[in-house]
Amino acid sequence: MPDPTRSPDPTRSPDPTRSPDPNRLPGPWPTLTAQVRYQLLLLGRNPNTLVAGVLLPVLLLSLTGTHGGRVAAAALAGRVVLGVTLIAYLTHTVGLVAAREAGVLKRWRATPLPRWAYLAGRLCATVAMALASGAVTVGVGMVAYHARVGPGAALGLVVALGLGALAWAGVGTAVSAFIPSAPAAQPLLSLSYFPVMLLSGVLGTAGGVPGWLTGPMGWLPGRPTIDAVTHALAATGAAPSVPVHDLAVLAAWAAGALLASVHLFRWTPAAA
């Protein structure tokens, strides 16, 4: 039991005015890589990642019509984009809201972790996991459904899926600021996700879509992601062409959403 009459011993008490050398704080690169590893651990152990990113797209691929046992590039692109965007938008954002409302982010806020490192770590891990999901679905499409994937497809796929995942994850991060509680996250996000993706043709051409909607769909991040992936899958490698419009739309969404995310992101629960 401490002696209640003791006064602090200056020889063992730290000088409260002393600041540690700021250079001794971990630098940006180790901080970022540690955050990416941490977020990958969380995503890898989240069953939603496997279900939404791999099982659901592969299941839907198995239910897709084929021509001579071969799945069409557009259909494969739709299933790939479904898995990628489910991870980038729904899994990422639901997890972010849950962490914030449970106080996990509040705890991070008390550490020397910079805000940019948390956001960048989370987004990088989400994009990496989304790319892995896309690779699995493309692989299953090639092996099990004889999908034709051109020799020059890899780079185009990485760019299209990476940019699409970043755009969707950025939008999710920004939107998370307006979600008031963890239970509200899934329904609110589903409400904003499924109409856009279904009207964009993620499960095939949406029949009966009003004409006034088809134009705007090209400017939301769903349709351009699918089109850019379809374009990449069909690439022959001989004369690579770039889907400029689709990638530009995705880049604009990614940049705008990231700016909004940085501005809107908050560490503490809504009630705090």
For other proteins, the binding residues (CB under 8 A) are 1-2, 4-9, 12-17, 19-22, 24-26, 30-31, 34, 38, 41-42, 45-46, 99, 102-104, 106-107, 109-114, 268, 272
Nearer to other proteins, 2 or 210 (CB): 2
Give the CA diameter of the chain: 89
For residue 94, the minimal CB distance to other proteins (Å) is 14
The residue type found at 241 is: S
Q: How many CB atoms lie within 10 A of CB 180?
A: 13
Which CB sits closer to other proteins, 23 or 205?
A: 23
CB of 249 to other proteins, least distance (A): 35
d(CA 223, CA 77): 11
Phi/psi of residue 202, each to 5°?
A: -65, -25
- Give yes or no for a contact between 139 and 226, defined as CB atoms under 8 angstroms apart: no
* Cβ at position 119, least distance to other proteins in Å: 15
**Nearest alpha carbon to residue 222 among 124, 65, 89:** 89
3-state secondary structure at position 204: strand
**Least spacing, CB of residue 190 vs other proteins, in Å:** 23
Indicate the residue among 42 and 56 with the shorter CB distance to other proteins.
42
- Which CB atom, from 20 or from 207, has the smaller least distance to other proteins? 20
Least spacing, CB of residue 258 vs other proteins, in Å: 22
The DSSP line for 156-181 is HHHHHHHHHHHHHHHHHHHHHTT--S
Using the 8-state DSSP alphabet, how is residue 112 labeled?
S
Name the residue type at position 37.
R
Question: Angle of helix 222-233 relative to helix 244-264, nearest 10 degrees?
Answer: 140
Buried b (16+ CB within 10 A) or exposed e, 191-219: ebbeebbebbbbeeeeeeeeeeeeeebee
Residue 118 Cβ vs other proteins, minimum distance, rounded to whole Å: 11
143 within 8 A of 230, measured Cβ to Cβ: no
90 near 4, Cβ under 8 Å?
no
CB 122, min distance to other proteins, A? 12
Nearer residue to other proteins within complex by CB, 56 or 113: 113
Nearer to other proteins, 26 or 187 (CB): 26
In the complex with other proteins, the residue whose CB is nearer, 66 or 268, is 268
